[in-house]
Amino acid sequence: DAEITQSPRHKITETGRQVTLACHQTWNHNNMFWYRQDLGHGLRLIHYSYGVHDTNKGEVSDGYSVSRSNTEDLPLTLESAASSQTSVYFCASSELPMGGELFFGEGSRLTVL
């Protein structure tokens, strides 16, 4: 069955370190998204990609970057982790660019000390 997997599921890091969260999907979807989830804020869109070599900023993109070198993967990089980036991160993919059904990974819980 097709799926979307995230790694690591849990990570603790220190302020200022670079962190990369991996996302891999086997749906063969062109469209991939990264969200962060915080209490009281729901899910907020960080970055998204409509295809290979395409990346776009979302609502809360400062401090984050993504790159898309193939269809299956959209890694999320925190260039210099800050305590405000402690959150649960979700990757999702969709058949449609926007407004389509999203298929979510299980999430990556990141703690920045």
Partner 1 sequence: SQQGEEDPQALSIQEGENATMNCSYKTSINNLQWYRQNSGRGLVHLILIRSNEREKHSGRLRVTLDTSKKSSSLLITASRAADTASYFCATGNDMRFGAGTRLTVKP
Work out which of 19, 74, 105, 112 binds partner 1, going by CB under 8 A. Answer: 105
Q: Write the DSSP assignment of 13-53 as a string of letters.
A: E-TT--EEEEEEESS--SEEEEEEEETTTEEEEEEEEEETT
Work out which of 23, 24, 66, 107 binds partner 1, going by CB under 8 A. Answer: 107
Stretch of residues binding partner 1 (CB under 8 A), selected from 18-26, 41-49, 64-72, 73-81: 41-49
By CB neighbour count within 10 A (0-12 exposed, 13-18 middle, 19+ buried), where does 2 fall? exposed
Measured from the CB atom, is 23 or 112 closer to partner 1? 23
Regarding 33 and contact with partner 1 (CB under 8 A), the answer is yes
CB of 16 to partner 1, least distance (A): 28
Q: What are phi and psi of 81, to 5 degrees?
A: -60, 140
Interacting positions 62-91 with partner 1 (CB under 8 A): 90
CB of 96 to partner 1, least distance (A): 10
Strand 42-51 to strand 103-104: parallel, antiparallel, or no bridges (unpaired)?
unpaired
Q: What is the contact surface with partner 1 in residues (CB under 8 A)?
A: 33, 35, 40-45, 58-59, 90, 92, 98-99, 101-107
